Amino acid sequence: MASTRDSLDVDETDALLEQQPSLDNPFTPESADEAGPSGSDDGLVAQAEELIEELSNAKLASVFVSLYMGVFLAALDGTIVATLLAHIASEFDEMRNVSWIATAYLIACAAFQPLYGKLTDIFGRKPGLVFASLSFGLGCFVCGIAGNLWVLVAGRVISGIGGGGLYALSTITLSDLVPLRKRGVLQGVGNILFGTGAALGGVFGGLMTSAFGWRWAFLVQVPFIAVSTLAIVFALKLPQPTQAAGRLLRVDFLGSFTLVVSLVLFLFAVAVGGNQLPWTHPVVVVSLPLSALIMGAFVYIERYVAKEPVIPVELLADRTIFGASFTNWFMTMSVYSILYYLPIYVIAVKGVSETTAGVALISNFVGVAAGSFASGVYMRNTGRYYMIAMVSAVSFVFGVALICTFGRNTSYTAVLFWTLFPGAGYGALLTITLIALIAAVPQKFQAVTTSIQYGFRGTGSTIGVALSSAVFQNVLLRRLHEHIQGHNADAVIDRIMNSVEEVRRLPLYLQPTVIGAYLAACRAVFVMCLVLGVCAGVSAMLMREHTLHNTLGRK
């Protein structure tokens, strides 16, 4: 049980690494595949296996719903702002800064997700889930009553802290209660719920805004998260850590602080660089090296100072953990870039409405659901994952390569069909890398390794959006300056850069030129996504095949 295991101290880690200090496997051969809990943990595993018998039928479904109701809402909330930005900007007269509503949520998610694994090892999963749910609900409430943009952004930060915990802890808790071999199917169903929430976020936000106003898009989530929290408190039966005394003394406060500060500085710099501020701006120039310096301090603290590191950095020396983590990092950069700029392509180049553009993403989410569930079934039936990981990586790269071929004459049907392939590859690899990562380490590390994966996903999404925005803006601006001349050219270009809807309002003679510029900018983003997809595939090749056990004790 991850929630009750003592963490690895520095001396024990050194002993493990000295046995085989290679990138291939820093643990002993038995430790990754066969190691079970030891000492006082034996009784806890027995307790967990008793829980599995109870949860194998109706109670398992109850636990799953309790966990993933929050995940569904967090995913919904992550994309809900897509259709709200224009209305919020108009009400607060803050068009220049309105993107912080989305950016603040992503940064908070990414920065705090890595903390949940170790902290809930110490304090227990249930308190962590309750905290994450309450934080998410409070953030939604603050957003709904915000009187200005910056109070709304603060609410998004609070929601992001909670949402990141809901993502990570739902996965960690299921890993506590379900053996690895059966884990993939449930993770696949969970990914389907996550994808459904993300897919419906924009539609739901639009409907609520049209019917009641944008504030209710946030407020209506509060009672649902309250129900989810009550279900966690009263219906979720989880083992608790046996060591009640001295919990605060076990918390790696210094490591947690340096990790969060480093990630916030880094993500802030990449989010504003090239968008709100030029890359040469002092804020960006100072934030990036300062982030690297603090990250170095974090690594030193975790390696040499902390008795119970929030993230044992030695874990990344294992090739499976390294490969799975960077597969998620590169792949999430690619996917989020596509999710942001495929709608821009179909609106600007194909001339469809925003609603139709949103529908274009549904096939991608269908692919995610199918790939995630199918890979889970495959792992349950075979106990293997490496070969299906390679097939999934090929599907992802092939699908992104097809997206790179999109042009002016590409049919809308082709757009819908081709986006299934990267979706299927992405969904499958999300599930496969999680299972591989957990299987690669001794059982006591499954919570912190899960947090590592979510940390890489969170930072990848933020970096991907920032990189794709910089590529898109630079290519579009250069193309427009090349083809639009005259005394009012700057004003026209400024209007085009600020709104994709401006394309159809231009004089007819100018529209083909601007559409061509948008196509070139979107294609540049898609080519970047292809390169990132190839990097993800190469990272996936680093993973090793580990045993997927049928019992929690890994026997």
Quote the pLDDT of residue 184: 74
Q: Report whether 328 contacts 456 (CB < 8 A).
A: yes
| Residues 6+ positions from 16 with CB-CB distance below 8 Å | 8, 26, 27, 28, 31, 314
Instruction: Give the per-residue pLDDT at 381.
Output: 87
Instruction: Compute φ and ψ for 549, nearest 5 degrees.
Output: -80, 155
Per the listing, tokens 């918390």 go with 251
Q: How far apart are CA 357 and CA 513, in angstroms?
A: 21
Amino acid making up residue 319: R
168 vs 58, higher pLDDT: 168
CA distance 524 to 224: 41
Token representation of residue 367: 């692919």
CB 224 within 8 A of CB 75: no
Tokens 């929030």 belong to which residue? 310
Q: Has residue 151 got a pLDDT over 70?
A: yes
Arithmetic mean of pLDDT, 311-334: 89
Instruction: Please give the angle made by the CA atoms of 289, 258 and 291, to the nearest 5 degrees.
Output: 10
Give the pLDDT score at 546. Answer: 87
**In 3D, which of 445, 238, 453 has the Cα closest to residue 331?**
453
Greater model confidence, 410 or 117: 410
Q: Which of 424, 399, 397 is nearest to 541 (CA)?
A: 397
Average pLDDT over residues 369-374: 88
Q: Supply the pLDDT for residue 386.
A: 92
**pLDDT above 90 covers what percent of the chain?**
17
Q: What is the mean pLDDT of the chain?
A: 79
Could you tell me the two tokens for 324? Answer: 């799975």
Mention every residue, 6+ apart, whose C-beta is less than 8 A from residue 15: none
**Any idea what the Cα angle at residue 391 is, between residues 386 and 396, rounded to 5°?**
120
Phi, psi for residue 277 in degrees, rounded to 5 = -130, 150
Q: Which range (391-400, 460-469, 479-488, 492-501) has the least confidence?
A: 492-501
What is the helix, strand, coil percentage profile of the chain, to 5? 80, 0, 20
- Can you give the pLDDT at residue 51? 46
Q: What is the pLDDT of residues 256-292, one digit of tens each?
A: 889 888 888 888 887 777 667 777 888 888 998 999 9
Identify which has the larger pLDDT, 311 or 136. 136
Q: Per mean pLDDT, which range of 31-40, 163-172, 314-323 is the poorest?
A: 31-40
Confidence of residue 24 (pLDDT cuts 50, 70, 90): very low
As a whole number, mean pLDDT of residues 381-393 equals 92
Q: Which residues contact 37 (CB under 8 A, 6 or more apart)?
A: 1, 5, 44, 45, 443, 444, 553
Question: Cα(298)–Cα(432) distance, rounded to whole angstroms?
Answer: 29
Asked if the model's pLDDT at residue 182 lies above 70, the reply is: yes
The stretch 55-76 carries a mean pLDDT of 74
* 504-511, long-range: CB < 8 A, 24+ apart: 504/351, 510/484
What pLDDT is recorded for position 29? 38
- Kindly state the average pLDDT of the residues 79-83: 71
Global pTM reads 0.77
Is the domain spanning 10-252+306-479+520-541 CATH 3.40.30.10? The answer is no
Dist CA 506 CA 29 (whole Å) = 66
Phi, psi (deg, nearest 5) at residue 553: -80, 0
Tokens standing for residue 28: 């002993």
Q: Would the pLDDT of 25 be above 50? A: no
Q: What pLDDT score does 540 carry? A: 94
pLDDT of residue 16: 39
Q: What is the pLDDT of residue 289?
A: 92
Bridge partners for 223 per DSSP:
none
Q: Taking residues 394-399, what's their average pLDDT?
A: 95
Instruction: Determine what percent of the chain is predicted with pLDDT higher than 70.
Output: 83
- From residue 241, give the alpha-carbon distance in Å to each of 2, 38, 244: 9, 15, 7
CA distance 398 to 422: 7
Q: How confident is the model at residue 18 (pLDDT cuts 50, 70, 90)?
A: very low
Contact status, residue 103 vs residue 273, Cβ threshold 8 Å: no
The token pair at 106 is 């992503």
DSSP string, 253-305: HHHHHHHHHHHHHHHHHHHHBTTTB-TTSHHHHHHHHHHHHHHHHHHHIIIII
